[in-house]
Amino acid sequence: MKRIGLALAGGAAVTVAMAAVTAGTADAGRSAGDDDGRAGASVTRIEFTEAVPLETDPSVTTNRRVEMFAEHRGDAVSRLRFVITFEGRTAEERLWRADRPESITSRNWESCTTGDEPTPAPKPDGLDVILRGYFGPREIPRDAKKVAGGANRWETPMGMMRMTYTDLGGPYPHRIVEIKGPDGSIGSTISGTRTSEHPAFPDWRPDWRSCRPSTAAG
C-alpha cells in the first residue's frame, strides 16, 4: 500500500509527479459541486507539523504545517482539502473529491502552477483510511517491531519504507511518526497533531489569478 497521506499532501517522503500548467488557466478544480452545501455533512480538521531534511543539507530540516479538511458523513469522505503552509505563507493547496476520485487537483502558490494528477491507492474515501495512512493503526499490531526509545515506540514496514511510531499517551492519533527510507534515514517526521470539528469545508484561497512565482520557485 502506498502512503496515501503524504502523497496526497505533496509530502517530501512520497513525491507524486504533477502535470502542471501555468497560473493563467486559473480556477482548476472548481465546479458547481464546490458550492452545493452538502447538507448533513460534517467537517473534520486534522493538522500537524512535518519536518523534512533539506536535499542540499540533510543535517538541516525545514518545518511546514499541513492542514486537512475532510467533509464526511459518518466515515465516508466526500471531499478532502489540504492546505500546506511554509514560513507563514500558503505554499500549496490540494483537493480530492469523491465525485471525481481518480485525480487530485493542486495549486502551488510558490510556482503559480496548477494541475491534476492521479490519486494514489488507496483512495482517501474514508476517515479511517486517511488516519491510518498518516498515523498508522489505532492499536499496535502484534507483529510490530519494538525499537529503542521506550515501550511506546514501535515500527512497521510500509512498502520499501519503514514507519516508526511514538505513542504520546493521548487519544489517537496523538503520536509522532517518522518515515524512513530503506537505508534507515529519516525522510520526514510528523508531530504536533491535532484534530477538531470545523464549521465548514474551506474553499480555495482567493486571488489565484494574482499569484506571482517566488524567487525560490524559479
Separation of alpha carbons 29 and 114, rounded Å: 9
pLDDT at residue 192 is higher than 80:
yes
pLDDT of res. 183: 85
Residues 6+ positions from 174 with CB-CB distance below 8 Å = 167, 168, 193
Residues 6+ positions from 130 with CB-CB distance below 8 Å = 4, 5, 46, 68, 70, 77, 80, 124
Residue 187 CB-half CA count within 13 A: 17
Going by DSSP bridges, is the β-strand pair 153-158/161-167 parallel, antiparallel, or unpaired? antiparallel
Task: Report pLDDT digits (tens) over 122-166.
Answer: 899 999 999 999 999 999 999 899 998 888 999 998 888 899 999
Could you give the C-alpha distances from 2 to 5, 22, 58, 127, 160, in angstroms and in order? 9, 29, 24, 16, 10
Q: Map grid coordinates 473534520 to a residue.
A: 44
Cβ atoms 142, 54 nearer than 8 A: no
Q: CA 16 from chain center: how many Å?
A: 12
pLDDT of res. 13: 36
pTM for the full predicted model: 0.81
